Chains A and B, each alone.
Chain A
Amino acid sequence: MFPVWEVPNIGSGWVIGLIAVLHVFISHFAIGGGAFLAFTEQLAYKKNDDRIYDYLKKHSKFFLLLTTVLGAMSGVGIWWAIGLASPNGTQTLLQNFSLFWAVEYVFFALELATFLAYYYTWDKLDRKTHLKLAWIYIGISYFTLFAINGILTFMLNSGGWDFTKGNIGDAFFNSSFWPALGLRMFIMMALAGIYAFFTLSREKTMDVDVKAYLLKYSAKWLLPAVILGPLFVIAYLFTLPEPTQQVIINGLSTIGVGNFSIMAKAIFMTLVFAVGLFGMVLAGPYLNPRAFNTSFAVMLLAAGFGFMFTEEWSREMMRKPYVVYNYMYSNGLRKFEIDKVNKDGFFNHHKFAGAELTTLKPNDELGKGQLMFRYQCTSCHTAKGNGYRSMKVMLATRDKDAIKNLLTMMKDNHIVDDKGVAKTMYHGYMPPVVGHQDEIDALATYLATLNSDPAKSTTAKVESSNS
């Protein structure tokens, strides 16, 4: 176990989320946009149109700067953020997929090298060879997706791999692998079109007919996502573990009556963004290419980003309460350790938390509770104010006893009986609270100080100082 990185107001999860969505929005373009360059360059040769060829030169410059600068930086940013926010999860992924990561890095380096070669050889290589570089880039960049897709899907679908023996290939090629790969490929193609709208909108001197033709052509890059995307989404959902499917069904079935979860909101908004994007592309670059300008292109980029954001958010939400499905909870606790931690006590089990506990005064119930909160809750909750999943807001006016009862009940969040019935309503949504009863009582004491009711909050503080 590692120390905890506490981020006020937004929580560490959102730091990862924001960097990751930015990265995904660019890295998907790095692959789909590569295919766009190759196919469009071939089109330019086929039509023998230098105007398309000239546009591609400029588009590839934009591509190079965006993907190799911001894309690569945000990629490093993800490692920085996940290493701090979820060190145990990162450790698990590194240990289990060392070979796949190594292959991914090799291909990433090749991807960069190939694109640099492609970009700097416009007009220097003969057309056939230059185009070959584009095809090689597609193959290499697509393989980076291939590698990362196995690891990403594994986090929600272990493919039967039990982390100790068996074939790691089963984990990598889990049943979600192919639907997710196809789905991402369609999204990449759609993003290639959306980014092309932007660079085309900046073309001030291009022949209007060529520009209109290219805008319509770019709009068609969204078609696979529109036609095949929904089928792959359904296929993907069917490959998810049954409890996750149940959480999704519960979320979506209660969306109708308004008691919907954040995950259901995210899925709903993904649909809204998808439909909105389709309508905007149809009314804009496809049906009215001559009136298309940069403002419209920026709106499409924003809608595309919104789609990516809600889609990735939905996927993350589906994984709750795990960071690695059925193995490690979002707070870094491994599922198989739960009984042992309950027996030994949380502070005896967790080295860093235990070390921090020794710095507190004896009988500092509040400090002990705050440590419990930091190590068990801050991966998903903020404490005060109106931050992300703020405990102050969620606990509202519950007093210490009510919180204690709630936490004691949540010790059994992981238990399911022989008939598959969960022991608590938080199963599938939250990890179990772990530790000795006195540790859980300390957590209740701390949480009661966050109470929205000042009178009860004071009571908790007084109790704490007396104890």
Chain B
Amino acid sequence: MSIPTLKNLNIVQTVVDWLDERVPLKAAVEFAGHKEVPVHKHSIWYYMGGIAALFMGIQFATGFLLMFHYVPTFEGAYASVQAINMQVPFGWLIRSMHSWGANVFILVLFIHMFSTYFMKAYRAPREFTWLSGLGLVGIAMVFGFTGYMLPMDEIAYFATKVGVDVAGESPFIGPYLAEFVRGGSEIGQVTMNRFFSLHVIALPLAMMGLFGLHATLIQLQGISEPESIQKLPKAERKYEKFFPDFFKKDVFVWFAVFVAFMLVVTMKPWGLGPQVDPAAMAPIGIKPEWYFLSQFQALKLFPAKILFFDGVHVAMVFIGTVFGSLAVVPILDSTGKIPFISKFATVYGVIFFIGWLFLTIWGSL
């Protein structure tokens, strides 16, 4: 490295060079620049991954700040959340961002998942990218479930109770699963310990690991193009570098989404219901969060008995199979060379999406 003279001193360049000698900065930028983003009329869906990453960041940052004041005990949780909302400077903002952020994060993940599915981005060689993405959706939903209980207000407690009871109805493993999650026969301090440690240690680690795999696979394999674009002659296809070109667009969209998000967070700050009385009756019409409503509504449609089986067991197997199929159908269509399967995957996706949407809306009414 040459010693800069006063004449040719460029501070930024000098710092970059100094860093580059110690950390492969330029190589990292070059690696990021290798990935190209196709430019076409469906490009808008490519922003969803970035928006999801933004909300993941918001969740980690606000969750970390909430832990400064949150008390993870059955007796003290409610009072600590109340203090966060009403005494800690800007505590309401951090909590409102975290609670709204959880919902928006899951919504964006769903949009990302469905858009990826319908653009057939799961096809070879991207099967693991798809599966890791599905895993991230699953983890985010468990995040939502475990986090929902932590404020220990009335709704949180009873919705969690209903959720655990439903899981307990799964055939064979259900009772053991419910017992394990609760840490006993009733929701109590042990349940809170388990939910809290899952929420702040196990799930973040799992999410970071899986997200790392997901992002690395995308970087290595590039971003897929829809079939309609692949069919175009090469000369008619347009691409831009992910870094820095698409990344700048990503940043623009992040700012826009963040402002819209803050509007909701500020104008409708996340509230806190009355403190739970575990001995009291559950409020009438208690429902899980919106992202579990489709399953919840589907469960209600099954009769008590189907032939020799308990209706609820059949329902759990059915719901599990339907959601599990999201991992299987794309794999069957991974080559995209069998027209029947390809068409089936599309039709199946449409039916799944309409069914999911219908049951979610129905469940919310």
Partner pick for A257 among B89, B255, B258, B267, CB 8 A cutoff: B89
Q: Say yes or no: A283 contacts B251, CB within 8 Å.
A: yes
Interface residues of B in 78-104 (CB under 8 A from A): 85-93
Per the CB 8 Å criterion, the residue count for chain A at the interface is: 23
Does A426 have its Cβ within 8 Å of any Cβ on chain B?
no
Which residues of A lie under 8 Å from residue B262 when comparing CB positions? 269, 272, 276
Q: Say yes or no: A257 contacts B240, CB within 8 Å.
A: no
In the bound complex, CA of A255 to CA of B92 (Å): 9
Q: Say yes or no: A276 contacts B245, CB within 8 Å.
A: no
Chain B 250-277, CB within 8 Å of chain A: the 1/0 string?
0110011011001100110100000000
In the bound complex, CA of A359 to CA of B256 (Å): 55
Instruction: Give A92 Cβ to nearest chain B Cβ, in Å.
Output: 32
Instruction: Give B273 Cβ to nearest chain A Cβ, in Å.
Output: 15
Does A258 have its Cβ within 8 Å of any Cβ on chain B?
yes
Interface residues of A in 259-310 (CB under 8 A from B): 259, 265, 268-269, 272-273, 276, 279-280, 283-284, 287-288, 291, 295-296, 299, 303, 306
Which residues of A lie under 8 Å from residue B245 when comparing CB positions? 288, 291
In the bound complex, CA of A456 to CA of B256 (Å): 47
- Mostly, the B contact residues are helix
Q: Say yes or no: A280 contacts B255, CB within 8 Å.
A: yes
Interface size of B as a range: 20 to 34
Chain B 266-295, CB within 8 Å of chain A: the 1/0 string?
110100000000000000000000000000
In the bound complex, CA of A284 to CA of B251 (Å): 8
Which residues of B lie under 8 Å from residue A291 when comparing CB positions? 240, 245, 248-249
Q: Say yes or no: B252 contacts A280, CB within 8 Å.
A: yes
In the bound complex, CA of A291 to CA of B252 (Å): 11
Q: Say yes or no: A283 contacts B267, CB within 8 Å.
A: no
Which residues of B lie under 8 Å from residue A288 when comparing CB positions? 244-245, 248-249, 252
Q: Say yes or no: B263 contacts A306, CB within 8 Å.
A: yes
In the bound complex, CA of A273 to CA of B263 (Å): 9
Which residues of A lie under 8 Å from residue B89 when comparing CB positions? 256-257
Partner pick for A265 among B86, B90, B266, CB 8 A cutoff: B266
Instruction: Give B45 Cβ to nearest chain A Cβ, in Å.
Output: 13
Query: A265: nearest residue on chain B (CB-CB)?
Result: B266
Name, among A257, A269, A287, A291, the residue most crowded by chain B CB atoms within 10 Å (CB to CB): A257
Which residues of A lie under 8 Å from residue B269 when comparing CB positions? 258
Which residues of A lie under 8 Å from residue B266 when comparing CB positions? 265, 268-269, 272
Q: Say yes or no: A303 contacts B256, CB within 8 Å.
A: yes
Instruction: Known pairs A259-B86, A287-B248, A303-B256; list 15 more (Cβ under 8 Å).
Output: A256-B89, A257-B91, A258-B85, A269-B267, A272-B263, A280-B255, A283-B249, A284-B248, A288-B249, A291-B248, A291-B249, A295-B44, A299-B252, A303-B259, A306-B259
Closest 6 CB pairs of A and B: A258-B92, A276-B259, A256-B89, A279-B255, A288-B248, A283-B251
- Ordered by A's residue number, 12 sampled pairs between the chains whose C-beta atoms are within 8 Å are A257-B88, A257-B89, A257-B92, A258-B91, A269-B262, A269-B267, A272-B263, A279-B255, A283-B249, A284-B249, A288-B244, A291-B240
Residues of chain A having any CB pair with chain B under 8 Å: 255-259, 265, 268-269, 272-273, 276, 279-280, 283-284, 287-288, 291, 295-296, 299, 303, 306
Residues of chain B having any CB pair with chain A under 8 Å: 44, 85-93, 240, 244-245, 248-249, 251-252, 255-256, 258-259, 262-263, 266-267, 269
